[in-house]
Amino acid sequence: MLHGGNPLVLWQPTEVLTIVGAAVGTMLASNTVTNLKATMAAIGTAFKTKSAVKQYHLDLLCLMFEILQKIKRDGLMSLEGDIEQPESSPLFEKYPNILKDHHLVDFITDYLRMMLGGALDVIQIESLMEQELDVHHQEQHIPIGAVAALADGLPAFGIVAAVMGVVQTMGSIGLPPAELGKLIGAALVGTFLGILLAYAIVTPVAKVLEQNLASDTRSFMAVKAILIASLNNFPPASAIEFGRKVLYSDQRPSFTELDEGTKAVKGK
């Protein structure tokens, strides 16, 4: 447009159909139904702005503080009802944003249940946590890999569309130069669209998903650090600080904010 061109020449339905059709076909052929569902769900989150992440982490730390305080005051057995039905637990109900994250709630309650059982020591629990977090990371990385693979293939699909357009043009070689120019230009649009979609749209989506995964994993790491610190007999206030420190600096509450939050919990 800046050079005085007509942007409508970029609209070549056959080129778009070839590229998008090849991309969709490749996605369907290279992923299971479960992975496709996970990828579609993940792509939707890439276009949502995450707000109040710091508040979310503050709620998580305060929840864990309340849990440790209850253990210290009443013993592990007092958590049995909260662990078995967290959705109806007065303890968890104070933090609805945390309760919505079923994976995180399951992670918390599963390891509290193991602590309650007393069959595993701190080293075994920490090792199991690391293994589960590794599995979680691999599962959550599947959509990222699928989107990244799609981005890698789009330039090639664009070239395929362009070659098909050139082949069609060669069959019309007897046309006047002006007509041939239009056909060649339409064919080259395929290469342009393939590269544009790959590097300007799909690759950024994959990067956003990767950043979201890294951020979400911090919540699990914080819970792990807190529970391990508690098992090593650190008092609740100190154990919570272990969890705060593993959060990204721009997403974790300050020491003062956490102190105020825990004091408010104590006052309830």
pTM (global) more than 0.85: no
The set of residues, in sequence order, having a beta carbon less than 8 Å from that of 50 and lying 6+ positions away, is 212, 215
Overall average pLDDT of the 96-106 stretch? 92
Tens digit of each residue's pLDDT (9 = 90 or more) over 21-44:
999 999 999 999 999 999 998 888
Domain boundaries, the chain: 14-20+52-267
Overall average pLDDT of the 240-267 stretch? 88
**Tokens coding 209:** 């998903």
pLDDT at 6 over 70: no
pLDDT at 106 over 90: yes
pLDDT at 119 over 90: no
Q: How many CA atoms lie within 13 A of 188 on its CB side?
A: 7
Pairwise CA distance, residues 105 & 83, whole Å: 9
pLDDT at 262: 86
pLDDT at 228: 96
